[in-house]
Structure formats: structure tokens, C-alpha cells
């Protein structure tokens, strides 16, 4: 799989210094600067220390099963166009070389809910999905009225759907909802509603996490 991060640092150079310092015990395969420069730090076939504790589907050692991409940004500003262009081009190459399916391009927050928030609410997941580089719920799944679900009644169903799609690192309903909305409904707040359930149902049905994984 591919895991997308942001550096939360002031510059790409500062991030590179950290990622190349053995004492920090953190690394990534690629760092993409704000101007679109792609810096290769670890060969794709080798393990980098970018993911940490977490899970996606049945994969619990994500570092050993993934390529990590760091985007140089503080996390408080929109991602630069040149940076996103470079990311999409890099992802095309990685997917072709390793036969990675779109649903296995995820964010750090997806595999580590509550512990990580990157690449954050400003990241354009829909663009990646349109370009075939990640996934997005179908338009019909989000067309239902956003009525609140009966309190607690559908929490278990939501958690099961999230796990079927890939969110297996936690069973905490609040964390699952926060992580889901961070990626798929970044401007929505409030309790679990019918749109959340419709969107997760669509994702779980079309992209069951371990069914088509090259390595599960």
C-alpha cells in the first residue's frame, strides 16, 4: 500500500534533515517539497519507518507493507498545486511498479485514527480518486438526506463497515467517525448520520480491504 503524510515542519529542508538523521528514528521513501521537487530518500523495495503503530485491514506492520510519501507543509495551509501535481505523477509510477490498487492508497490518519491526523482536512482525496489514484464514495451514496441515526443504534454497523473498508486500528466509534469525516466529509460535524452510513456502505461493498490485496 501507499501511506500519505505531511511533515508539519516549516520547510522541506527541515523535514529532509529530520528524515535523514538516524537519531530521529523516522524515515520515508519520498519527500515532496512545496515547489514539486520529489526527493527520494529510501529505495521503494526497502522498509522505511514512516507509519508507526496502526493497521489497515489485516496488515498490522504497515511499515513492512507500504511506501511512505511525506508532503512538506505545516498542515495549516492548502497544498500547493505543484506539490499535488508531483504527487499524482509519483503515485502513477508507484502503482504501476507495484500493482497497488487505488483503495490501498491511504492517509496516515486512516491507519492510525486518533494518533495521527495527516494528511489532514485540506488534502484533496477527491482529486486522487478522479485520477484513479485513490477512492471516493459514489455520488449516489452521498445523496441521501443527512438525518441523524438513533443514538447508538447504528454505531456497531458503522464500525463493521469501517473495518470492512480497512479501518481496523480501533473500534472506538468516535475516533472512527472523526477519521472517516476527516477524509470524506471534512466540513461536516455532528453525530453519525444516514450519509455517513450510506458512504461507508458504498466503500465497504466496492472496496473490501483484504479481498483484492496483493498481500493481506
**Residues involved in catalysis:** 70
List the one residue out of 176, 166, 174 whose CA is nearest residue 135.
166
Q: How far apart are CA 191 and CA 194, in angstroms?
A: 10
Helix (H, G, I), strand (E, B) or coil at 144: coil
Alpha-carbon gap, residue 75 to 66, rounded angstroms: 22
How far apart are the C-alpha atoms of 60 and 65, rounded to whole Å? 9
Cα–Cα dist 168/44, whole Å = 25
How far does Cα 157 stand from its chain's mean position? 22
Amino acid at each position: 500500500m501507499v501511506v500519505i503524510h505531511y511533515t508539519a515542519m516549516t520547510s522541506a529542508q527541515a523535514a529532509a534533515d529530520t528524515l535523514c538523521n538516524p537519531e530521529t528514528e523516522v524515515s520515508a521513501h519520498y519527500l515532496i517539497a512545496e515547489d514539486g521537487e520529489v526527493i527520494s530518500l529510501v529505495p521503494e523495495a526497502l522498509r522505511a519507518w514512516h507509519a508507526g503503530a496502526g493497521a489497515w485491514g489485516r496488515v498490522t506492520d504497515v511499515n513492512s507493507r507500504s511506501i511512505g510519501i511525506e508532503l512538506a507543509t505545516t498542515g495549516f495551509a492548502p497544498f500547493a498545486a505543484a506539490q499535488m501535481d508531483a504527487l499524482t505523477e509519483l503515485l502513477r509510477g508507484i502503482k504501476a511498479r507495484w500493482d497497488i490498487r487505488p483503495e490501498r492508497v491511504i492517509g496516515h490518519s486512516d491507519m492510525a485514527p486518533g494518533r495521527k491526523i495527516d494528511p489532514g482536512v485540506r488534502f484533496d482525496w477527491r482529486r486522487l480518486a478522479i485520477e484513479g489514484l485513490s477512492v471516493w464514495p459514489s455520488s449516489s451514496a452521498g445523496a441521501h438526506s443527512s438525518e441523524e441515526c438513533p443514538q447508538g443504534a447504528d454505531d456497531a454497523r458503522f464500525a463493521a463497515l469501517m473495518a470492512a473498508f480497512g479501518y481496523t486500528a480501533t473500534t472506538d466509534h468516535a475516533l472512527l467517525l472523526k477519521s472517516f469525516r476527516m477524509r470524506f466529509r471534512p466540513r461536516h460535524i455532528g453525530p453519525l448520520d444516514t450519509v455517513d452510513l450510506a458512504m461507508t456502505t458504498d466503500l465497504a461493498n466496492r472496496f473490501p480491504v483484504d479481498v483484492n490485496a496483493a498481500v493481506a
